[in-house]
Amino acid sequence: MSILVMKFGGTSVATLDRIRRAAKRVGREVANGHDVIVIVSAMAGETNRLVDLVGEAGQGSGPLYDAREHDAVVSSGENVTAGLMALTLQEMDVPARSWQGWQVPLRTDGAHGSARILEIPREAIDRKFAEGFRVAVVAGFQGVSPEGRTTTLGRGGSDTTAVAFAAAFDAVRCDIYTDVDGVYTTDPRIAQKARKLDRIAFEEMLELASLGAKVLQTRSVELAMRYGVTLRVLSSFEDNGGEAGTLVCAEEDIVESALVSGIAYSRDEAKVTLLDVEDRPGIAAAIFGPLAGAGVNVDMIVQNISEEGRTDMTFSCPEGQVARARKAMEEAEIEFRAIDVEDSVAKVSVVGIGMRSHAGVASQMFDALAREGVNIRVITTSEIKISVLIDRKYMELAVQALHDAFELERAS
């Protein structure tokens, strides 16, 4: 019998009424002939509440609390949801049971708080399906370390859990139920003409997710692309038909790729420049190695032309990581005159696999921004993406202008 994976996010299971609504969706898929693996998040707000409790409990010893106990606490929200979902399904006469990560077992490495999945054995769940159970409700976000301790996968980890199960069980599809009805050409709160996409390629979704789109977690898209898991993003709050939502799929499953599929943005960016750095072999490694070690997520990188053996090195990072970046640079074994930080910038990007076979996207993008008087501070490009750093106050204007310039309100 075919297996379908269905994942419900925190807003989709925020109350018992919403759990019942989600359970009815699961029941319909069982009636359609599927065995179903349901991945659930904690009820909306619960993980934040648990994280706060851990923080309060750890005040006596500062921030150096035991990460293993942190994971034991913050993963418990998913256990509650899984049990409630299984009970609700049983009330509907759907044979179901709940599973915690250690019971599957979903095996991870020992990196508490940001564990990576190593293996998902099928035997235990397959055995229950063979016994007549139709639904396995699995607590998302969690696994078990080689030492037998509960681990967590990081924020958004339930998406990754769902894709990993879909890959391990050769699922026909992985449906991600959330509070939006699909992937849009840009944020509808900024551009009223934003259009829901019927399909989007893995590479495009990965770029959009990494650039700030909150629909799917980046690691889940990476995993889906690697194992060829077809994703469908749907709303929990609408009656979805068979073709509803947005399919995230391989490029060859899209008849004709749009030149630009979407506009992404990241509001809280900072531009950091190391002034007057020695220009020598290995200087980039000497700069970005310590930044990586400090957990700074560097994105855009620009090096100025060298003059008399000295250069300026500019990079962008999240605004909240500037202090970490500054400390890492001050402690690194490099010489520079000063660190210049501009913390009122935003990143705006156009994304589309159609760029591979069409010229002129950059020109069209820059013309649109110029017409609105938006000055570009930094530019970076890849095969399917062009990103610019601009003054934050112009971010929404830039997103709207680019959405109009590429006529994204029109279906391709």
Q: Average of pLDDT values for 397-401?
A: 97
- Which residue, 179, 203, 221, sits at the end of a domain? 179
The confidence band for 348, taking pLDDT boundaries of 50, 70 and 90, is very high
Which of these ranges, 182-191, 215-224, 248-257, has the smallest mean pLDDT?
A: 248-257
Provide the annotated binding site for ATP.
Answer: 7-10, 178-179, 184, 189, 214-215
pLDDT digits 0-9 by tens, 240-251 = 555 589 999 888
Contact of 355 with 340, CB cutoff 8 Å: no
Q: Cα–Cα distance between 149 and 71 in angstroms, integer?
A: 9
**Residue at 79 is within a domain:** yes
Whether residue 209 has pLDDT greater than 60 = yes
Range of the domain at 399: 263-405
Task: Report yes or no on 326 lying in a domain.
Answer: yes
Residues 289-321 have pLDDT tens digits of 999 999 899 989 998 887 778 999 999 999 999
60 pLDDT more than 50 = no
- Judge whether 237 lies within some domain: no
CATH code of the domain containing 305: 3.30.2130.10
Q: Does 173 lie in the same domain as 267?
A: no
**DSSP classification of residue 319:** G
Binding-site annotation, residues: 7-10, 47, 78, 178-179, 184, 189, 214-215
Residue 246 forms part of a structural domain: no
CATH code of the domain covering residue 157: 3.40.1160.10
The DSSP result for 186-237, as a single string, is: S-TTT-TT--B-SEEEHHHHHHHHHTT--SS-HHHHHHHHHHT--EEEEETT
- The angle, 0 to 180 degrees and rounded to 10, between the axes of the packed helices 361-371 and 395-405 is 130
- 28 and 159 in a single domain? The answer is yes
Same domain, yes or no: 170 and 268: no
Q: What domain count does the chain have?
A: 2
End-to-end Cα distance, the chain: 36
pLDDT tier at 212, thresholds 50, 70, 90: low
pLDDT digits (tens, 9 = 90+) for 101-129: 999 999 999 999 999 999 999 999 999 99
In a domain, 220, yes or no: no
- Evaluate if residue 214 carries a pLDDT over 80: no
Type of residue found at 105: P
Residues making up the binding site for substrate: 47, 78
Is 106 within the bounds of a domain? yes
In a shared domain, residues 53 and 175: yes
Tell me which residue of 205, 175, 200 sits closest to 411, measured CA to CA.
200
| Residue given tokens 């062009």 in the structure block | 386
Compute the mean pLDDT over every residue in the chain, rounded to the nearest whole number. Answer: 91
Q: What are phi and psi of 231, to 5 degrees?
A: -105, 150
311 and 166, same structural domain? no
The DSSP code for 375 is P
- Percentage of the chain beyond pLDDT 70 is 96
Q: Among 119, 154, 179, which residue terminates a domain?
A: 179
Report if residue 339 sits inside a domain: yes
Could you tell me if residue 205 is inside a domain?
Answer: no
280: which residues sit within 8 A by CB, 6+ positions away? 309
Pick from 128, 153, 154, 135: nearest CA to 143: 153
Domain shared by 139 and 273, yes or no:
no
pLDDT of residue 256: 67
Query: Do residues 144 and 273 share a domain?
Result: no
Residues 170 and 315 in one domain: no
Last residue of a domain, one of 179, 194, 218: 179
Amino acid identity of residue 143, one-letter, is G
pLDDT at 255: 67
**pLDDT of 51 over the 70 cut:** yes
pTM: 0.85
